[in-house]
Amino acid sequence: MDIALPVLGGLGLFLYGMNLMGSGLQKAAGEKLKKLIEVLTNNRLMGVLVGTVVTMVVQSSSATTVMVIGFVNAGLMTLGQAAGVIMGANIGTTITAQLIAFKLTDYAPLAVAAGVAIWLAAKKQRIKELAEIFIGFGILFIGMDMMGAGLKPLAKLPAFSDIMTSLNNPILGMLVGLGLTTVVQSSSASIGLLQALAGQGLININIAFPILFGDNIGTTTTALISSIGANKTAKRAAVIHFMFNLIGTIIFMTILRIPIQAIVTRISPGDIQRQIANAHTLFNLVNVVIQLPFAGLLVKAARILVPGDDSVYLTASKYLDPRIIETPSIAIGQVNKEVTRMAEIVQENLKEVEKVFVDEKYDGLDSIFEKESLINRIEREITDYLIMLSNAPLTDEQHAHINKLFNMVNDIERIGDHIENIAELAQLKQENHLEFSQDACEELRLMFNKCEEAFKYSMKAFNENDKNAAKLVMVLEKEVDELEEENRANHIWRLNKNVCVTSAGIVYLDAISNLERVSDHSWNIAERIIQEVKNS
């Protein structure tokens, strides 16, 4: 227990510190991280760069790979792009081992103290986020120190010496590394433990090398598990990650182990912790250099290993995937895209229902009801996703944006409901052979046009944060209110003149009432944008 408790406690602090530092970096990077992902092109070299930088920020190659699987699952990234990012993620994850090798343990309490002091004193959220980076950094090294202190007594145990001697077998060492990383679900943590053992003089570079190779295979299990339930293309991305690390391990175990070991030993003689960090970095750098030209072959192999159709979506939403929540700034961008997609479907239905209701093109009714069912499913999935996202580490600004999205989705869905109401009125009109006068049809067309414009500009205001577009919605909404009053008065006049029948008139009044509600919800959306721009 004297050994196990400090080691387990230290490992827990190490993982917590790494996650806290990564969370602080993510929140500080925020929009920059989102823009970095968006510049991704079919250029695989750019993909490697993006994967490296993103992993340095999120402090986990597993998190980056899981996020990539989410992008692939949502159809936002091709397998070719994913291959480059996954390779880059392996390079980015080596930064933790390099930090540990600097032996900054003595400064860890100071980093925590300074970080906490800044966090308590700071008024601005951004300063608090930067303080979290210092706190996480300090806790990471305190965890490393605890692990080292806990492992120190092992040097006096003959049984441990026997175990370490047995690990001189490269295959056994590789299997140990694979198993360890699979259990802790973090190659950085398992390599950190390896460096802690090295720091106490309990292992040499000969033993560390094969364990390190096994760590790199073990880190792929997170992505493989994450791909369960994803589409075929996402599963292939996870397989690419596994094949890339497995092939790299085979190359290093059979050909490059001795040359790389000689290089790291010469660069840092006598410093095993630094040798492990350099070996980890060189393994991943050289592996990328070797395999990047053959990334296309990895993609082909993945397609063979995971056969089937690429484009099977089990959800109504296109851009949402829980794996992307690991990086909230990007996840919020995906929700924005899904809300826009939902709005576009509503806009199509609004135009279609005008043709059905006014022009009596009743063959479009089934399409309207199908799209309304899709809108409702998207609304439920966005809402569930936002609930999950709201529990992620967010800035105050991100929390406010999520609250706005909850209301936005509700307003768009309600517009869809009013369109469905009008479609049902069209059904009633068809079944009872009701007809409107020419004047009534012209009034309806004008009102539909104003409502379509109002909704279009409300979404323009949302997508572009455009205050002028939002103000135009206010003007249009007022015009729709006036049109409704005017049309009601005109309808009563037509009834008195026997121009239209009562049954048709009831359907007409219900329709203009629903249209007025469409403009009201557009106004709600625009008002929030104006308020947001005013407060920013």
- Higher-confidence residue of 287 and 326: namely 287
- The mean pLDDT value for 276-283 works out to 91
Which of 45-54, 59-68, 519-528 has the largest mean confidence?
Answer: 519-528
Q: For the chain, what's the residue count?
A: 536
pTM for the full predicted model: 0.69
- The mean pLDDT value for 219-244 works out to 84
pLDDT of residue 97: 84
Task: Write down the residue that tokens 């292939």 correspond to.
Answer: 236
- Contact between residue 130 and residue 118 where contact means Cβ atoms under 8 Å apart: yes
Q: Which of 151-155, 290-294, 301-305, 412-416 has the lowest mean pLDDT?
A: 151-155
Architecture label for domain 322-535: Up-down Bundle (1.20)
- The mean pLDDT value for 40-57 works out to 78
- The mean pLDDT value for 346-350 works out to 95
Residues 6+ apart with CB under 8 A from 272: 198, 199, 201, 203, 204, 205, 208
User: What's the CA gap between 275 and 348, in Å, rounded?
Assistant: 61
Q: Is residue 183 very low, low, confident or very high in pLDDT (cuts 50, 70, 90)?
A: confident
CA atoms within 13 A on the CB side of 372: 21
- The mean pLDDT value for 439-444 works out to 89
pLDDT of residue 312: 44
How high is the mean pLDDT of the chain? 85
Q: Please check the confidence at residue 499 and state whether its pLDDT lies above 70.
A: no
Question: In the 8-state DSSP scheme, what is residue 437?
Answer: -
- Higher-confidence residue of 165 and 348: namely 348
pLDDT of residue 393: 81
Q: Which two tokens stand for residue 327?
A: 């990086």
Percentage of residues in the chain with pLDDT exceeding 70?
90
Q: Give CA separation, 389 vs 179, 247, 325, 377, in Å.
A: 31, 36, 6, 18
194-208 as b/e: b if 16+ CB within 10 A:
bbbbbbbebbebebb
Q: Is residue 37 very low, low, confident or very high in pLDDT (cuts 50, 70, 90)?
A: low
Q: Which two tokens stand for residue 382?
A: 């966005």
Q: Please check the confidence at residue 423 and state whether its pLDDT lies above 70.
A: yes
pLDDT of residue 127: 87
Amino acid 244 reads F
| Cβ-based burial of 397 (10 A; exposed 0-12, middle 13-18, buried ≥19) | middle
Q: Which of 26-30, 62-66, 204-208, 265-269 has the lowest mean pLDDT?
A: 26-30
CA 110 to chain centre: 34
